[in-house]
Amino acid sequence: MPYKVKDLGLAQEGRKLVDWAEAHMPVLMGIRESFIKEKPLKDLKIAAVLHVTKETGALVKTLAYAGAEVWLAGSNPLSTQDEVAAYLAREGINVFAWRGESNDEYYWCIEQVAKSEPNIILDDGADLHAYLHGKLPEIAERLWGGTEETTTGVIRLRALEKEKRLKYPVIAVNDSLTKYLFDNRYGTGQSTIDGILRATNVLIAGKRFVVAGYGWVGRGIALRAKGMGAHVIITEVNPIRALEAVMDGFEVMPMDEAAKVGDIFVTATGDVNVITGTHFQLMKEGAILANSGHFNVEINVKELERVSVSKEEIRKGVTKYTLKNGRNLYLVGEGRLVNLVAAEGHPSEVMDMSFSNQALAVKYIKENKGSMLKKVYTLPKEIDEEIALRKLHSMGYRIDKLSEEQAKYLSSWEVGT
C-alpha cells in the first residue's frame, strides 16, 4: 500500500486530532452521511495536494467514504501534521507527506500523487495543477477536472486559462462566498495571530501591527489584531482597498514609513518582495516578521540574510537575525505561511465550509463530466447558499424565508413610488 509518512506509530494521536476536527465540522459530516449512502465517487481515483491537517483528514476520509481511492500530498513542506498523515495512511489513504520535507522531497510527493492517474484532483496553491501541466501533460489531458482551494492558486489557474493552456475544467473553491468570506477573513484572521502567539508568546495589545495587503485575508488579520488592542497599520498598492482600510479606521502608509514604526509585520498580499532589504534596515530593535501568504516570497529572506551578520533559532520556529546595523529582527516560520507552520491552520469550524465546498465541487465535476469547458468555474450559488444555511442551523440559528409577494416584488420592475 503506497505511502510515505514520518512515523506510522503516530496514527493513534492522529485519529484523536481528526476526531476533534470532525466534532467541529457538522456541515461536512452531514455531506459525509449522504456520501456514505449514495457513494457518488465510487471507483474514482482522486489526487489531492492540500495542507495535511486534521481538517484535511476529515475531508479526505469523506471522499474515501464516498467510494473514492484517495492519494494525498502536502501543499507546503512545513505544514504537515505528522500524526494526521500517519492516521490517514493507516486508514488506507495513499499519503506522501511529512513535516520538514526538502524542496526535492516536496515535489517527489507531488509526483507520487500525480502519477496515480487520477480522475479528479484537489489542490491548494496550484503546485499540482502546474506539475501536471508542465511534467505530465498526458495525465492532465485525461483529467475530468480539478478544484483549487486558495486565492494564489486561482490566480495561477486564471493565468493558464488566459493563455488558453488549461487542460481540464477547474472549480475555484476559493471563490465560493462560503469559502473566502469566512476562511480567508475569519480563519486566517484568527490562525495568523494563533501562529504568532504560539511561536513568540508576545503581547499583541499596544503593539504597532503592520499588515501588508487589505484583501479578505489582510482584512481578517487587521480585525483580529485590532480586537486584541493592537494599533493596526495597513500598507497597500490598490487605492480602493487602501481607502477601505482608512474608512475602516486603520492607519495607512507606505511600507517605507511603516518599517520605521512597526513592532509586528504580517504580509498577506499574494505578491513577491513586499518586505525587502531597505525595509529590514529601517526596522526597530526586536521587530517580528511573519507571512500569511501561500508562498514564502513576500518577505525577502535572501535579502534579510544579506543584511545580517548572524542568525540563530532563538525559539522553536523563530529565527533571530542580527543585522549589520546592530539591531535584531525575528522571523517566524522561515517566512512560510505562519498559521499552518507555527499553529494548526484555521479552526475546524471555518474549514467546515471550505471543505464542504471542496467535497461538493468534486461531486459536481463527476456529475458534469464531459459537459464542462476547460475554464475556471465558481460553484453554483445554490450550493453556496445551502452550505451557509446548514452552517447557520448547526450553530442554532434560524432565518426568515421570502414570501411569494416579496419574491415577486424583488423580481419585478413595475412597482415604484
For ligand NRN, the binding residues (CB under 6 A) are 50-51, 53, 55-56, 124, 149-150, 183, 187, 191, 294, 340, 345-346, 351, 354
Which one, 191 or 200, has the nearer CB to ligand NRN? Answer: 191
Which one, 101 or 263, has the nearer CB to ligand NRN? Answer: 101
Give the whole-angstrom CA distance, residue 214 versus residue 98. 32
Give the nearest distance from C-beta 326 to ligand NRN in angstroms: 37
Q: Which of 164, 217, 59 is nearest to 376 (CA)?
A: 164
**Strand ranges for 153-244 from DSSP E:** 170-172, 208-212, 231-235
Which one, 40 or 189, has the nearer CB to ligand NRN? Answer: 189
Give 290's strand partners.
266
β-strands 328-332, 318-323 pairing: antiparallel
Which one, 259 or 351, has the nearer CB to ligand NRN? Answer: 351
Amino acid at 393: H
Give the nearest distance from C-beta 44 to ligand NRN in angstroms: 21
**Strand ranges for 83-161 from DSSP E:** 94-96, 120-123, 145-148
Q: Which of 65, 72, 108 is nearest to 88 (CA)?
A: 72
**Nearest residue relative to ligand NRN (C-beta):** 345
Contacts of 33 (CB under 8 A, 6+ apart): none
Give the nearest distance from C-beta 228 to ligand NRN in angstroms: 20
Give the nearest distance from C-beta 23 to ligand NRN in angstroms: 14
Which one, 53 or 119, has the nearer CB to ligand NRN? Answer: 53
Helices (H), 205-273: 216-227, 239-247, 255-261
Which one, 182 or 330, has the nearer CB to ligand NRN? Answer: 182
Give 233's strand partners.
210, 251
Which one, 308 or 358, has the nearer CB to ligand NRN? Answer: 358
Amino acid at 266: V
Is-contact 294 319, C-beta < 8 A?
no
Give the nearest distance from C-beta 224 to ligand NRN in angstroms: 15
Give the nearest distance from C-beta 358 to ligand NRN in angstroms: 9
Which one, 267 or 308, has the nearer CB to ligand NRN? Answer: 267
Is-contact 169 121, C-beta < 8 A?
no
Give the whole-angstrom CA distance, residue 208 versus residue 414. 54
C-alpha cell read off for 243: 481607502
Give the nearest distance from C-beta 166 to ligand NRN in angstroms: 20
Give the nearest distance from C-beta 340 to ligand NRN in angstroms: 6
Give the whole-angstrom CA distance, residue 173 versus residue 179. 7
